[in-house]
């Protein structure tokens, strides 16, 4: 479970642990936050693993360690992501390049590398589940953070490609695409007055709770969800509809 030290990732870790699964809580920075998540998980046998997802060698060591500590790997949730403002008309060329490199390096290439490493272990166990956490922004656009929208659109295509490639190995791949979620990452956007406008985008007049996203991820990672492989599930409270 990448990016599990807060927000959606923390809620997903709790959901898996709550049904008796052992969870690897990935974090990038200091371990305190991940250790706090571990301390709050029901059950035992969970582990915290650290890696900068933009570093391919760290990714491989992290996945191998998680697999070793857990005694195998049945499901991967690619949740980690960065969201860096870089409006095209307002940033320097150097800052523009840096934002694209960092965003794609974590959100797309990092997820691809984690997936490659996890698949090697899943094939040895006869199958598994991969769930990618994308975004409404992949379809609606992210004018202030175009690399973020592009990375999530790429993640959608990546997931669908692997759904076809990995089905013969018993591995199903699906994607969830949330809109705004009540998390630390979104807190700055959800404060008034902008937060009121964001909540009004949905006819429910609210944004998602992390636990609502976690419930969808938990289903897509279940044995019953094999036939959802290749699907992209919108979780945006009808704030954006696509055909």
CB count within 10 Å of CB 67 equals 20
CATH number of 7-235: 3.40.50.720
Joined tokens for residue 237: 């409270």
C-alpha distances (whole Å) from 182 to each of 48, 188, 190 are: 24, 10, 8
pLDDT, average across residues 5-18 = 97
Catalytic-residue membership of 219: no
Residue 112 CA to residue 80 CA, distance in Å, equals: 12
Report the pLDDT value the prediction gives residue 139, as an integer from 0 to 100. 98
For residue 241, pLDDT over 90 is answered with yes
Listed residue (63, 43, 68) closest to 1, CA to CA: 63
Tens of pLDDT along 112-140?
999 999 999 999 888 999 999 999 999 99
pLDDT, average across residues 60-78 = 97
Proportion of the chain above pLDDT 90, given as a percent: 95
Tens of pLDDT along 154-202?
999 999 999 999 999 999 999 999 999 999 888 888 999 999 999 999 9
DSSP 106: I
Per-domain residue ranges for the chain? 7-235
Residue 133 CA to residue 3 CA, distance in Å, equals: 11
Report the pLDDT value the prediction gives residue 80, as an integer from 0 to 100. 97
Report the pLDDT value the prediction gives residue 105, as an integer from 0 to 100. 98
Whole-model pTM: value is 0.96
Report the pLDDT value the prediction gives residue 188, as an integer from 0 to 100. 87
The DSSP string of 178-216 is: E--BSSTTTHHHHSTTHHHHHHHTSTTSS-B-HHHHHHH
- Which range among 47-61, 88-102, 186-200, 223-237 shows the weakest confidence by mean pLDDT? 186-200
Which 3 state secondary structure label does DSSP give 112? helix
In contact, 189 and 195? CB cutoff 8 Å: yes
Report the pLDDT value the prediction gives residue 108, as an integer from 0 to 100. 98
For residue 240, pLDDT over 90 is answered with yes
Torsion, CA 211, CA 99, CA 117, CA 179, rounded to 10: 20
Report the pLDDT value the prediction gives residue 124, as an integer from 0 to 100. 83
Residue 173 CA to residue 220 CA, distance in Å, equals: 8
In contact, 14 and 39? CB cutoff 8 Å: no
Which position among 93, 148, 219, 240 bears the catalytic label?
A: 148
At residue 236, φ and ψ (nearest 5 deg) are -130, 15
pLDDT averaged over every residue in the chain: 97
pLDDT, average across residues 146-159 = 98
Tens of pLDDT along 43-65?
999 999 999 999 999 999 999 99
């Amino acid at each position: 479970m990448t990016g599990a030290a807060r927000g959606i990732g923390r809620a997903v870790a709790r959901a898996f642990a709550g049904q008796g699964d052992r969870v690897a809580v990935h974090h990038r920075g200091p371990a305190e936050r991940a250790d706090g998540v571990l301390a709050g998980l029901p059950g035992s046998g969970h582990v915290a693993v650290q890696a900068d997802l933009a570093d391919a060698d760290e990714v491989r060591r992290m996945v191998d360690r998680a697999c070793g500590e857990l005694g195998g790997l049945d499901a991967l949730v690619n949740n980690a992501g960065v969201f860096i403002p870089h409006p095209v008309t307002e940033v320097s060329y150097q800052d523009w390049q840096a934002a694209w490199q960092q965003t794609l390096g974590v959100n797309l290439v990092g997820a691809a590398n984690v997936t490659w490493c996890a698949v090697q272990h899943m094939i040895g166990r006869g199958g598994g589940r991969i769930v990618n956490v994308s975004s409404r922004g992949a379809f609606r656009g992210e004018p202030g953070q175009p690399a973020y929208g592009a990375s999530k659109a790429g993640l959608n295509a990546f997931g669908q490609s692997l759904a076809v490639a990995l089905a013969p190995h018993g591995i199903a791949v699906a994607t969830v695409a949330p809109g705004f979620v009540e998390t630390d990452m979104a807190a700055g956007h959800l404060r008034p007055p902008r937060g009121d406008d964001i909540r009004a985008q949905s006819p429910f007049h609210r944004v998602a709770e992390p636990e609502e996203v976690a419930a969808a991820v938990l289903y897509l990672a279940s044995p019953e969800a094999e036939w959802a492989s290749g699907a992209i599930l919108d979780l945006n409270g009808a704030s954006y509809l696509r055909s």
